[in-house]
Chain A
Amino acid sequence: MSGWTNRPDSFGRISRSLHWLMALAILAMLVLGRTIATMEPGLSTLWLYGLHKSIGVTLLALALLRLVWHRFSPPPAPLPGPPPWQMRTARATHAAFYVLMVAVPASGWAASGATGLDVLIFDRWVLPPLAPVSQAWEDRLFALHGVLTKALALLVVLHVAAALKRQYRDRDGTLHRMLSGRARPRR
């Protein structure tokens, strides 16, 4: 398993793959969700709803898989250097990321089920509803889904900004470690 698992000072291939795969999917979902929320519905765009649900449930599964994987193979500690308040902020941001990576798709799943329509993914599997079928539940859950999604988008911005700052201003190799496994400062 050399190279696949995390080590005290480096990310393994599995953690890095999960990170970048989920990063791409989350960015795509933020765009897709916004598109769905603002587009005029029609027969030609119905498939986008199915795509949104399918990717969302996949992201939920990947988030849970990532949490389980980190139990077996803990990720390395953050690289030292920034002041304590920045380290605390980074820890809080990461914790919030995991909460939202579960809560955003789960709230979307629950809201979708509350409409009374099947939560159909990949045009094949129907997921069980997570909430009672009612207008009140539907309204509240979609509102919650929207708020959580905006919070996730804010975290993405914070996370990307912090990673770029540490890579290009602090030059501590934080971003490089998530790309190649090991930190290799550019100096």
Chain B
Amino acid sequence: MHRRTALTSLIALTLTLPAFTARTATETYRLDSAASTVAFETDFGRDHIAGTMPVVSADVALDFDALARCSVDVVLAADKAVASFPFATQALRGPKVLDTANHPTIHFTSTRIRAEGDGARVEGEVTIRGVTRPTVLHARFHRSDNTAPGTRDALAVRLTGEVHRAEFGATGWLDMVGDVVRLDIVAEIRKAP
């Protein structure tokens, strides 16, 4: 909930893509892991199971004049994922879902990024449980709080999308817990020096 409030304030400060001043070079950004969150949610009967997952590493290269030159490569710590309640966390990390004993990370790498509305469509490949599948994330870029208007030294990127866990072999408790896992990622990134 705190993240959503923070996100709302970020959106209020939004500088969407066209508002940035023109540049030509691809900029490399570093992720502020402490300020970033990878949240997920799925159905559990009429309720939802939500959780978060830390980011191990992220390589982000952005070129706002040529989105095709942008790239994103993120590694998530699946073995440190936390869900709504202890049993859900244990189930999530266990062999029937993420099998973190054998696959401790989740890897996403972009293959194509293009403009979509006032954001971007990030096509890529995600690897879960050692199974790689194509997926699409939708990105919105915002100027981070405490930064001057018109600058893009520090950005907040919100990525949303979903994966079907059964496609990756994460089939545990499919009769009780939803197949579709909705992702809501807020990545705070700073331009690398």
A residues contacting B by CB (< 8 A) are 40-46, 115-118, 120, 133-135
6 extra interchain contacts, Cβ-Cβ under 8 A, other than A41-B176, A45-B45, A115-B91?
A: A41-B44, A43-B45, A46-B87, A117-B91, A117-B94, A120-B87
In the complex, chain B residues whose CB is within 8 Å of the CB of A43 = 44-45, 47, 84-85
User: Could you give 17 example pairs across A and B, Cβ below 8 Å?
Assistant: A40-B45, A41-B176, A42-B44, A42-B46, A43-B47, A46-B85, A46-B87, A115-B94, A115-B96, A116-B91, A116-B96, A117-B91, A118-B87, A120-B87, A133-B95, A134-B95, A135-B96
In the complex, chain B residues whose CB is within 8 Å of the CB of A118 = 87, 90
Kindly count the residue-residue contacts between A and B in the assembled complex, taking CB atoms under 8 Å apart.
37
Question: Given A46-B85, A135-B96: A40 and B46 within 8 A (CB)?
Answer: yes
Least distance between A30 CB and chain B CB atoms (Å): 22
* CB-nearest residue of chain B to A120: B87
CA distance A181 to B47 in the complex (A): 51
Within 8 A of A (CB), among B93-110: 94-96
Interface residues contributed by chain B, number (CB under 8 Å) = 13
In the complex, chain A residues whose CB is within 8 Å of the CB of B91 = 115-117
B residues contacting A by CB (< 8 A) are 44-47, 84-85, 87, 90-91, 94-96, 176
The majority secondary structure among interface residues of chain B is loop
Contact A116 B176 (CB under 8 A): no
In the complex, chain A residues whose CB is within 8 Å of the CB of B176 = 41
Question: Given A117-B87, A117-B90: A44 and B47 within 8 A (CB)?
Answer: yes
In the complex, chain A residues whose CB is within 8 Å of the CB of B95 = 116, 133-134
5 closest pairs, A vs B, by CB? A42-B45, A116-B94, A43-B47, A41-B176, A42-B47
Least distance between B93 CB and chain A CB atoms (Å): 9
* CB-nearest residue of chain A to B95: A116
* CB-nearest residue of chain B to A40: B45
Question: Given A115-B96, A116-B95, A135-B96: A41 and B90 within 8 A (CB)?
Answer: no
